[in-house]
Amino acid sequence: MALVTGAGRGIGCARPSHSSKPAPNCGSLRVRAMTSSEPPPRSTPRRVRAAFLVAQAAAQKMLEAPERKTRGGTIVNMSSQMGHVGAVNRSVYCLTKHALEGLTKAMALELAAHGIRVVSIASTFVETPMTKPMMARPDFAQWVRERIPAGRVGQPEDVVAAVVFAASPAASLMTGTSLVVDGGWTAQ
């Protein structure tokens, strides 16, 4: 399994409370043939380009594995609920996450015949060192909580559980889709 995150911040640095090790950090995302070594165009936003390159390298490594056809493989792209909606003052972030969601779909179509599944995890705001300063602002914290019907922001464990499920045999028919872990934000 390859876990492609947004970089060394946010969920990329978060870890479950029961773990003493930081979560693995892989990079960010965008398009080109996943089975080739051709990089995406330079005009691709940096975060999207980085995620594409990491996912492409992971796919190539999986394709080289002799047991891949019987064992399969899974690439999990870390997206966001903002890859499914829009929000004020979040245009660039939404752009990169929408691109990641599209890439997840395209990668899934390219890699399915090789036994490799591609899914994304789209979480809501998660308590991490990156979101702590934002959530410390009472107006912003209220804005976020008012949009989550479940009444709370996410915890790293919520995202970890989704990743474990998405990479497990229990999700063997899931590919090209997003597992939305947002407390109901996008259901509105």
Strand 2-4 relative to strand 177-181: parallel, antiparallel, unpaired? unpaired
Is 69 annotated in the active site?
A: no
Q: What is the pTM for the complete model shown?
A: 0.79
Q: Where are the beta strands (DSSP E) in 5-90?
A: 73-78
Bridge partners, residue 180, by sequence: 122
pLDDT tens for 139-182 read 999 999 999 999 999 999 999 999 999 999 999 999 999 999 99
Percent of the chain exceeding pLDDT 90 equals 60
Low-confidence ranges of the chain (pLDDT < 50): 7-8, 15-16, 18-32
Is 61 annotated in the active site?
A: no
Q: Return the DSSP state at 154.
A: B
**Residue 55: predicted pLDDT:** 92
Smallest CA-to-CA distance from 130 within 45, 5, 14 is with 14
- The one catalytic residue among 61, 69, 97, 132: 97
Domains located in the chain, CATH noted: 2-183 (3.40.50.720)
**Residue 29: predicted pLDDT:** 32
Residue 174 C-alpha from the chain's centroid: 15
| Residue type at position 63 | L
